Amino acid sequence: MQNTGSTRTATRWPSSEGVSAARATSGRTLSIAMVAAAMLVVAGCKSTSTYYVPTAGEPRLNQDEFRDASDQILRVECPRLMGTSDYATGEARARVYVDKSGAVQKIEFTRPSNDERMNTVWGGLGARLQFDPQEGQTEDLRASMVTIGYSCGKGTALTTLQL
């Protein structure tokens, strides 16, 4: 008759204490990972604002002079903006801070155009804008929104300014 027997195997079964320790370690690791991810998200949500202010001694510009000065620069920039296309357009929204005399004291783009160079041109010119004083303005600076745009075509360079 053959002998039958059993073979012992070395399979490890964690005890209930070991399972609790593993779960606790896993939970702490998950918590640390969640805190680290939250810190990365917060660190990535940094906001920076750029303001353009008037240069001392520069003359103020009315709206027509703003458009004329921008058009002159745009005539030079249009070939670059158009590239291989027949036309190019761009638009930006900006907040202007106007004092009681109607002079813009600073300008900030809330939605810049797709061209950084034109934003810089418009920021510099926009800081020099002079509007008519507003009756009843009691605050030192009043914020208003403006839209500035450009349109380039063959032989055409046009700036728009909307209040």
- Per residue in 119-156, pLDDT (tens digit) is 999 999 999 999 999 999 999 999 999 999 999 999 99
Give the chain's length. 163
User: How many whole angstroms separate alpha carbon 160 and alpha carbon 93?
Assistant: 12
Answer for the pair 89, 150: CB distance below 8 angstroms, yes or no.
Answer: yes
The whole-number pLDDT of residue 88 equals 97
SS3 124: helix
Answer for the pair 139, 45: CB distance below 8 angstroms, yes or no.
Answer: no
Percent of the chain with pLDDT over 70: 71
Sign of CA dihedral 133, 137, 141, 144: negative
User: How many whole angstroms separate alpha carbon 43 and alpha carbon 93?
Assistant: 27
DSSP 8-class letter at 95: E
Is 12 a residue whose pLDDT tops 90?
no
pTM (2 decimals)? 0.71
Is 30 a residue whose pLDDT tops 60?
no
Q: pLDDT (tens digit, 9 = 90+) per residue, 58-76?
A: 999 999 999 999 999 999 9
User: How many whole angstroms separate alpha carbon 13 and alpha carbon 28?
Assistant: 23
SS3 146: strand
